[in-house]
C-alpha cells in the first residue's frame, strides 16, 4: 500500500485512541450510578451487536453468513471474543472498583509492550501459516527507544507528581486486561484479512456476549431495579460506549491492525492516558499541569518513533 494510504490509518489510530480514552470516564460514571462491570459490558455489546448485525444483513454476501470457513477459525473467534471482549472488559471494568483509575490506565497501557513480547515469543516457539501471518517485527532503536520514551511520558501523565497507591486485587485485574488485549491483537488482523472487518468484528462481539453469560448468571442483578436509566448520565454513556466506542471503534481498529500490523497499531494504546486527561479537562474541568503536558508530548513522540519503519509492510487487501 502507498505511504499516503498507510498514513491515513495512523491518523485513524490516533482518532480511535481519542475515543477510547474517554471510555474510562464513561465506565467510571456508570459504575458510580450503580451498574456492575458485567452489566455495563453486556448492555453496550448487545446494542453494538444488534447494530453490526443489521449492517451485515443489509450488506449481504459473506458478511451475512453465520459461521466461518472452518472449525479452527471458529475456535479462534471464540478465543478472540474472550480475550478482546468478555474477559478484557470484565477485568478492566472490575479493576476500576478496586484501585485508582490512574493505576488501571497505567497497567492497561503496557499492552503494546506485552503485544511485542508475545509476538516475538510466539514466532520463536511455534510454526505454521497462522504464526507466519503475524507481524514481522524487527527490534531496533526506533521500537525500543520509542517504547521507553512513551512509557516515561505515560508515567508523567498518569501520576503527575502523585505517589503510586498499590491495590493488589485491582492492579492484578488491570494487568490481566492488558494481557488479554495483547493476545487479542495477535490474530485479529489475520481473521479480518480472511473474513472481512464486519464479519470478524461481529463474531468477536457474539462470542464476547456468550462468554459473559455465566458471570451474569452467578451474579446478583437486583441492583438493576434501582438504576435510573432515564438519567442522561446513564443512557448517554451507555449509548456512547455501545455505538461509538464499541461498534464504530472496534470495526475501525480491526481494519487498522490489518493495515499497519498488530504491534504498530497497539503502540497507539500509549496515547490512551493523554486523551483520558483531555476528556477529564473537558468533562470534569480539570487542568493540564506542566508534568502532564510534557508527558503527553513524550507519548506522542514515542509512538511516532516506535512506529517508524521497523517492520515489513504487507499489502492491505480489500476486505470491506
> What is the tens place of the pLDDT at every residue in 101-133?
666 766 777 777 778 778 888 888 888 777 777
Give me the numbers of helices (H) and strands (E) for the chain, helices first please. Answer: 16, 0
Higher model confidence: residue 44 or residue 295?
44
Three cell numbers written together for 320: 470491506
Q: Structure pTM?
A: 0.75
Question: What pLDDT score does 2 carry?
Answer: 53
- CB-CB contact of 97 with 170 (8 Å): yes
**Is pLDDT at 296 greater than 70 in this prediction?**
no
Q: Which residues contact 296 (CB under 8 A, 6 or more apart)?
A: 153, 157, 274, 277, 288
**Is pLDDT at 164 greater than 70 in this prediction?**
no
Question: What pLDDT score does 193 carry?
Answer: 82
**Is pLDDT at 310 greater than 60 in this prediction?**
no
174: left (phi over 0), alpha (psi -120 to 50) or beta: alpha
pLDDT level of residue 218 (50, 70, 90 thresholds): confident
Read off the pLDDT of each residue in 27-46 and give the average, rounded to a whole number: 89
> What is the tens place of the pLDDT at every residue in 44-81?
999 999 998 998 888 877 778 888 878 989 999 999 99
CA 141 – CA 7 distance, rounded (Å): 21
Please give the mean pLDDT across all residues of the chain.
80
Higher model confidence: residue 318 or residue 5?
5
34: left (phi over 0), alpha (psi -120 to 50) or beta: left
Amino acid at each position: 500500500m502507498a505511504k499516503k494510504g498507510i498514513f491515513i490509518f495512523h491518523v485513524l489510530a490516533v482518532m480511535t485512541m481519542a475515543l477510547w480514552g474517554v471510555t474510562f470516564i464513561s465506565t467510571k460514571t456508570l459504575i458510580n450510578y450503580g451498574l456492575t462491570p458485567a452489566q455495563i459490558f453486556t448492555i453496550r455489546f448487545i446494542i453494538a451487536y444488534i447494530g453490526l448485525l443489521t449492517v451485515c444483513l443489509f450488506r449481504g454476501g459473506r458478511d451475512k453468513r453465520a459461521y466461518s470457513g472452518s472449525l479452527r477459525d471458529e475456535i479462534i473467534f471464540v478465543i478472540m471474543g474472550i480475550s478482546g471482549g468478555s474477559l478484557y472488559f470484565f477485568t478492566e471494568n472490575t479493576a476500576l472498583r478496586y484501585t485508582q483509575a490512574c493505576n488501571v490506565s497505567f497497567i492497561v497501557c503496557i499492552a503494546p509492550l506485552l503485544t511485542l513480547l508475545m509476538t516475538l515469543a510466539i514466532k520463536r516457539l511455534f510454526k505454521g501459516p497462522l504464526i507466519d501471518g503475524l507481524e514481522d517485527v524487527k527490534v531496533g532503536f526506533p521500537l525500543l527507544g520509542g517504547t521507553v520514551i512513551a512509557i516515561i511520558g505515560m508515567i508523567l501523565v498518569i501520576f503527575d507528581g502523585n505517589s503510586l497507591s498499590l491495590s493488589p486485587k485491582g492492579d492484578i485485574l488491570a494487568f490481566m486486561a492488558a494481557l488479554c488485549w495483547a493476545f487479542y491483537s495477535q490474530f485479529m488482523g489475520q481473521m479480518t484479512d480472511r473474513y472481512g472487518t464486519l464479519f470478524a468484528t461481529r463474531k468477536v462481539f457474539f462470542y464476547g456476549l456468550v462468554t459473559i453469560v455465566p458471570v451474569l448468571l452467578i451474579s446478583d442483578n437486583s441492583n438493576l431495579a434501582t438504576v435510573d436509566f432515564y438519567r442522561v448520565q446513564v443512557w448517554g454513556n451507555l449509548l456512547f460506549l455501545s455505538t461509538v466506542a464499541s461498534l464504530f471503534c472496534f470495526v475501525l481498529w480491526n481494519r487498522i491492525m490489518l493495515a499497519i500490523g498488530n504491534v504498530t497499531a497497539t503502540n497507539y494504546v500509549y496515547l490512551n492516558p493523554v486523551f483520558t486527561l483531555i476528556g477529564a479537562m473537558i468533562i470534569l474541568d480539570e487542568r493540564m499541569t506542566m508534568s502532564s503536558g510534557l508527558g503527553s508530548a513524550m507519548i506522542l513522540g514515542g509512538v511516532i518513533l516506535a512506529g517508524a519503519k521497523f517492520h515489513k509492510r504487507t499489502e492491505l487487501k480489500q476486505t470491506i
